């Protein structure tokens, strides 16, 4: 049975507002706001995939969930819609080590997946902070549970965890969430107690 925290008609627009709140909470200064931070410097140093996109071009990117709990238990799919960018871009999917994000995760939670985007305007070399249409991240992993939480992580050292669970949809072992920004990274956690009860763990 599906557990939904959003993604009903109109929720993508509401997600844009939620993402804006996350960006404001990350306290990016006016000087930094000119372009997105390089999240490779804030815990997401591995490049999982790189695609070059023209304005109006769509993309479907699948990456192994290799940086979750230290082994590939599943995979993630990133869907870029036609309206996301109005300039040519290099779109990179980043991830960090499980150990790094587990050390920062709230007590009692297991960091099961993490990712970030680095989107660069290929004409200017500037990193793009905001998308014109929501990019969607969907992960299928045996460690996804009904109580899994989707967090935004700030471009600070150490990173702060901000609950971004509204507009998250969970259907069995699949978690889906839209993103409107590359200003923050993302970590998915599951309560340790849920994993201990799971017959597959």
* CA–CA distance, 44 with 127 (Å, rounded to integer): 15
The structure's pTM equals 0.81
CA distance 191 to 201: 13
Correct CATH for 2-27+36-197 of 3.10.20, 2.60.220, 1.10.4160, 1.10.8: 2.60.220
What confidence tens digit (pLDDT) does each residue in 153-195 have?
A: 999 999 999 999 888 999 999 999 999 999 999 999 999 988 8
Return the higher-pLDDT residue of 18 and 132: 132
What is the DSSP track for 172-188?
Answer: TTEEEEEEEESSSEEEE
Q: For residues 150 and 105, what is the distance between their CA atoms, to the nearest angstrom?
A: 11
Nearest-angstrom CA–CA distance, 95 and 113:
9
For 118-133, what is each residue's pLDDT tens digit?
999 999 999 999 999 9
Spatial distance between the Cα atoms of 110 and 188, rounded to a whole number of angstroms: 8
pLDDT for position 19: 47
């Amino acid at each position: 049975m599906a557990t939904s925290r959003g993604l009903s008609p109109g929720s993508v627009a509401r997600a844009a507002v939620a993402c804006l709140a996350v960006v404001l909470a990350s306290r990016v200064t006016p000087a930094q706001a000119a372009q997105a931070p390089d999240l490779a410097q804030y815990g997401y140093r591995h490049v999982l995939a790189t695609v070059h996109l023209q304005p109006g071009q769509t993309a479907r990117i699948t990456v192994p969930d290799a940086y979750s709990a230290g082994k590939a238990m599943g995979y993630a799919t990133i869907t870029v819609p036609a309206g996301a960018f109005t300039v040519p871009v290099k779109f990179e999917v980043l991830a960090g080590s499980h150990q790094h994000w587990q050390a920062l995760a709230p007590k009692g939670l297991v960091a099961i997946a993490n990712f970030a985007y680095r989107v660069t305007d290929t004409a200017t070399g500037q990193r793009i902070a905001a998308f014109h249409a929501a990019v969607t991240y969907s992960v299928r992993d045996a460690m996804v549970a009904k109580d899994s939480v989707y967090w935004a992580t700030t471009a600070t050292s150490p990173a702060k965890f901000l609950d971004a669970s509204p507009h998250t949809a969970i259907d069995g072992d699949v978690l889906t969430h839209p993103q409107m920004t590359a200003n923050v990274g993302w970590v998915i956690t599951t309560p340790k107690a849920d994993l201990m009860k799971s017959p597959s763990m």
